[in-house]
Amino acid sequence: MNDHLHMRRGMPLGVAALCLPVAVALMLPSAAMAASSGGSTVRALVGGDGAVKSVKVLAADGSTSAFSGTLPLKLSISRTVSGNTSTYTYEVDNTFTKTQDVTYTDTAGKAHTFSQDLQLPLVAQLGVEVPSTFKNVTSSDGVVLTDPDGTNRILWNLVLFTPLGSPTQSVSFTAAGSGVPTAELAAQAVNPSTTSGLSSASQAATASSQQDDFWTAFASGGNGGLTQLAAGMTQMIAGLNKLAPGTHQLADGIKAAGAGAKLLDAGTKKAYVGSQALSSGLGQIHTGNASLATGLGQISGGLGQLADTSTGLPTAVTGLQTIQGALNKIIAAIGPTGSLTTPGLLDGLGAVDTGLKGSLTTLGTLAAGLTCAGNTIEAVVSGAPAGTKPTGCAAAIPVPLAGIADPFSQAVLVGSAATPGVALQLLGAAQLLTASLQAPTAANPNTLPAAIGAIEAVMAGLSHPATSASDPGGVKEVLTLLAGKDALGKAITGLQAAVTGVDALNTGAAAAEAGAQKLATGSGTAFTGSQALVSGLSQLSAGQHESATGLPAAVTGSAQIATGVDQVLAGAKQVKTGILAVQSGAVAPLQSQIGTGSQNAKKQLAILDASAALASQAPGGASSSYVLSQSPTGFKLAASTSAAKKSSDNTGRNIGIGIGGLVALVIAVVAGFALGRRSTSVSV
């Protein structure tokens, strides 16, 4: 059985459109649009595009006065031409709109507040008088009436506020020919909550909300019951899930017991025959046990030698530990340790390397100074003029030098290549220093950078990380690997385990020797017992045969019990599935949809009540009517052979008739709205 619920909510405007012909029929006796219901009429004269030219207020007694407020309506008129055919479009806007918070209370008593655009609740009728010079007058959304003289009159009935209508609506007609149509728009603010015929909408929404609340509670109770029932079925299924394996295990166990009984029956018969051979074999075992005791004694002696602490395996463990300690000392000596009191080899080489690198700059500065000093001495001896800048010096000689003519002083200060003086010796020393600071070459390999590189190469050889299988690292890393747990560590651990094992094996061998002696004694006793075993096995064979004969019936019964439990479990699962399907496919959606319908009804009631409050704020007064006309005196909209009269008295009378038609329109629209709200269909 397939249960489903389908809720169909009709759109208010759609149903209202179906009711418009009734309202139009009631309004046709009206000859003009105006207002006369005890209030004033705000009348505006508009131009060809709908723009307001002038506004005045007509009192119920026919007197007029100025209007100082803002019209709540706007009429826009436009025309498009295609060949000889013109299309006139009239857009009507309800410009009186306010945004405010609206509150309603749901079934659970919780208040909901939402922001809503509210319009002045206006109902209106738009009429257009089309001269007889136009032909083929058509309108898809209006009623076209034709006078005997060929004049056409088009009527549109408009509801200009939500939720019963739209604040902006556009209508149009098409005609062939030429001329000037005349339009007139009449509207009045109503109270949708209290106006006769309109209150039925609120009553219908209230009844709908109450009915939805009842069914929501009903569906909620049903949903809760189904939840409890599903929970009970879950517990039942859990119990059956625990019971089913047990019944199968029982059946399998009894079946296995039957098979085992048959095998045991056959086995006991074979055991009886074997016991005869056992008696003979036990005699042979007794002889073998004596030989076993002798062999185990020899094994025990050899194991004792391996376990000896002065000549056996423990001595090898001590030697490996000594090697490991020596390797660790070498590793520590390589360093670096980072300690100032016990620095390692890498610490010392690093300090030397750092010192040599630091001396590069200092020695370069010294070489430059020696060069400047030697060249300055030569300049002094030669008597260089002022402004001369000796090579390697930063500043020039400020005063001219007289020169030294004494040969002895020249020999001492300058000298020659064979016997260099002070200047040449300083320059030679500078050249030697400069050469020692250069990068090593084949001609000059022994430079200070070469020494630094050699020290760093030694440091890298002593310690660097492993990069590949062919480069296991420096000396320190290799020694660390050898001394660590992966090399000597494993060997030491293995020998220690071997020592422990040999000790245990030595102890076990001694115990085995003693046991073999006892086994030799016991095997003689076993030979005597085997004779009694032969007699007992004969009696056991007879009993097992009786068990094997009776078990097949128990096997059949246990299998039937297991099958029945499986069937009950499958049925319980189907029942739970059905309950959950009903809950999720019918009850829960029904509860949700009915709850949504109740909230929608309450929300619409709140909007209608809020719109009703705006009716009292209508410009010109709560009972005011509004007319926007292209005609200064108004005109008739219904088909008639009588000429329209221009007196203001007739205008007031005709407006009253028009407003009566508008009220009928509103009643029809609201009735349609209520019918649309309650349009539901349920299929089972």
pLDDT tens sequence across 521-531: 877 777 777 77
Of 166-180, 317-331, 573-587, minimum mean pLDDT range: 317-331
Q: How many whole angstroms separate alpha carbon 60 and alpha carbon 37? A: 8
Residue 348's pLDDT band (boundaries 50, 70, 90)?
A: confident
Paired tokens of 456: 């760093």
Q: Of 180, 172, 181, 179, nearest to 153 (Cα)? A: 181
- 663 pLDDT exceeds 60? no
DSSP string across 192-223: TTTSTTTHHHHHHHHHHHHHHHHHHHHHHHHH
Highest mean pLDDT among 166-170, 204-208, 255-259, 460-464: 166-170
CB 260 within 8 A of CB 504: no
Listed ranges 281-295, 542-556, 595-609; the one with the highest mean pLDDT: 595-609
Mean pLDDT, rounded, of the chain: 77
Number of Cβ atoms within 10 Å of the Cβ of 528: 10
**pLDDT (mean) for 235-243:** 86
Task: Round to whole Å and give the CA distance between 494 and 270.
Answer: 50
How far is it, in rounded angstroms, from Cα 285 to Cα 293? 12
For 598-614, give the DSSP string: HHHHHHHHHHHHHHHHH
Looking at residue 57, its pLDDT comes to 92
Average pLDDT value for residue range 116-127: 93
**How many CA atoms lie less than 13 Å away from 535 in the CB half-sphere?**
4
* pTM for the model: 0.40
Sequence spans of domains, the chain: 4-189+619-683, 336-462
CB 276 within 8 A of CB 534: yes
Query: Taking 90 as the threshold, does the pLDDT of residue 171 lie above it?
Result: yes
Give, as one character, the DSSP assignment of residue 60. T
Per 3-state DSSP, what percentage of the chain is helix, strand, and coil (rounded to 5)? 55, 15, 25
331 or 626, greater pLDDT: 626
Q: Please give the Cα distance from 236 to 614 (Å, whole number).
A: 62
pLDDT tens digits along 401-445: 878 878 888 788 788 888 898 878 888 888 888 888 888 888 888
pLDDT at site 119: 92
Distance in angstroms between the alpha carbons of the first and the last residue of the chain:
9
